[in-house]
Homo-oligomer: A and B are copies of this chain.
Amino acid sequence: MSLVVQKYGGSSLSDAESIKRVARRIVDARKAGHDVCVVVSAMGDTTDDLLDLANEVSPLPPAREMDMLLTAGERISMALVAMAIANLGSTVRSFTGSQAGVITDDTHGKARIIDVTPGRITSAIAEGHIVIVAGFQGVSQGSKEITTLGRGGSDTTAVALAAALDADVCEIYTDVDGVYTADPRIVPAARQIGHISHEEMLELAASGAKILHLRCVEYARRFDMPIHVRSSFSHQEGTWVGGSNPEGDSVEDPIIGGVAHDRSEAKITVVGVPDSPGKASEIFQAVADAQINIDMIVQNVSATETGLTDISFTLPSTDGQTAIQALTRLQEGVGFTQLQYDDQIGKVSLVGAGMRTHPGVSATFFRALAQAGINIEMISTSEIRISVVTRGDQLDEAVRAVHSAFGLDSSQGEAVVYGGTGR
């Protein structure tokens, strides 16, 4: 008998009817012979409603109490899902994150899972129950305080539980059919990906694909846990992330996984930095001290006659103001000329494990952008990814150009230069 971990997000649990629909799905999985452990998010708008209430009573609520408050959301949905399952005649037990053994550090609001001790869950499963677990929450190791995991927390809970329970698969149910070769709202010809590696998914998530959170994919890769991303509104196969390709591995595996884009970043350029050792270090230490994650960095070739250089980097635009303040305090010490801030940028990324062995990929990529008349402002690459920064208003066109150049458009079929992208 196999063990399946399923996770349902808030959009699949928006009201009583959708809860009953999810319950039927869960019971179907049980009746198909699987042991089932289900992780749920809070219903629809519950979390937003609770945040509104919090803001009404306090402009800056303590993080500990915010976690107490928000964890009520998943508690409500897990109990309702359990009730709906019981009403279908199956035996079921719900557990909070704390009861499920999700042990975290003590960083309220964005705790990290440091251990999973699912003793109560394995007992309940052994007794024949379907198990429902509240996602997004845990209990801190030392002080036994209730914590929440922050963005992507419910997906991460599901993968962590799947790993701890040695499940066969972690199914992430959402409101789309799976992972696509590009965002279908921008590229109508985008195709659903049948199978993608953990590494490629990690690069896609890091490059702006929103379907799975980076943390969840990182966790899945670390524990080699296959994820099946699929729609809770249909019974079609979704996208398999990691694990063996259900279509069989073959030399014909696609070179390119997909195209991701990101509109949430801004670019800061520090102009006229003295070209002497230690200056870049001072600049990036100041940004790191402000708890800001930097994405791409470009240092221009020094203009030797002046002894000055320009350093550009991208960062989440929500951190823009903080970064500018931190750098302004540094201006006299470092001796740079000025700061330029630009949030009208976009980033397009091409991800594919096949890049490692196919040297023509970057050439095709840059040619596609050039032919579409798109100027490249910054470039960054990894072993399986190429990303470039463009003007924000050219981003959609850039995504479409790249998607088409690599034969990913559905009208292009499988027989294209670099191969298809799965099923």
Contact = CB atoms under 8 A, between A and B. Distances in A.
Interface of A: 16, 19-20, 23, 50, 53-54, 56-62, 64-66, 68-69, 71-73, 75-76, 78-80, 82-84, 86-87, 92-94, 96, 99, 144
A18 to B, nearest CB: 10
Given A23-B57, A68-B75, A68-B78, 7 more contacts: A16-B56, A58-B83, A58-B87, A64-B93, A65-B86, A72-B72, A75-B75
Contacts of A80: 53-54, 57, 69
A362 to B, nearest CB: 52
B83 A66 contact: yes
B93 A57 contact: no
Nearest to A68: B79
Given A65-B94, A94-B68, A58 B84 contact: yes
A83 B71 contact: no
A50 B65 contact: no
Contacts of A73: 72
Contact of A72 (B16, B66, B75): B75
A76 B68 CA distance: 7
5 contacts: A54-B79, A57-B80, A58-B83, A62-B82, A65-B94
A60 B87 contact: yes
Contacts of A68: 75, 78-79, 82, 94, 96
Given A20-B57, A57-B19, A94-B65, A76 B86 contact: no
Copies in the complex: 2
A102 to B, nearest CB: 16
A57 B75 contact: no
The 5 closest A-B pairs by CB, nearest first: A16-B56, A69-B79, A58-B87, A68-B79, A61-B83
Contacts of A83: 54, 57-58, 61-62, 65-66, 69
A141 to B, nearest CB: 16
A144 B96 CA distance: 12
A61 B96 CA distance: 18
A60 B86 CA distance: 9
Contacts of A62: 82-83, 86, 92
A96 B145 CA distance: 11
Nearest to A88: B58
A20 B59 CA distance: 12
Contact of A86 (B20, B23, B61): B61
Q: Which of A73, A82, A144 has the most CB of B within 10 A?
A: A82
A92 B65 CA distance: 9
A39 to B, nearest CB: 15
A133 to B, nearest CB: 12
A68 to B, nearest CB: 4
Contacts of A56: 16
Contacts of A20: 57
Contacts of A53: 16, 76, 80
A125 to B, nearest CB: 16
A75 B71 contact: yes
A64 B85 CA distance: 13
Contacts of A87: 57-61
Contacts of A23: 57
A72 B20 CA distance: 20
A86 B58 contact: yes
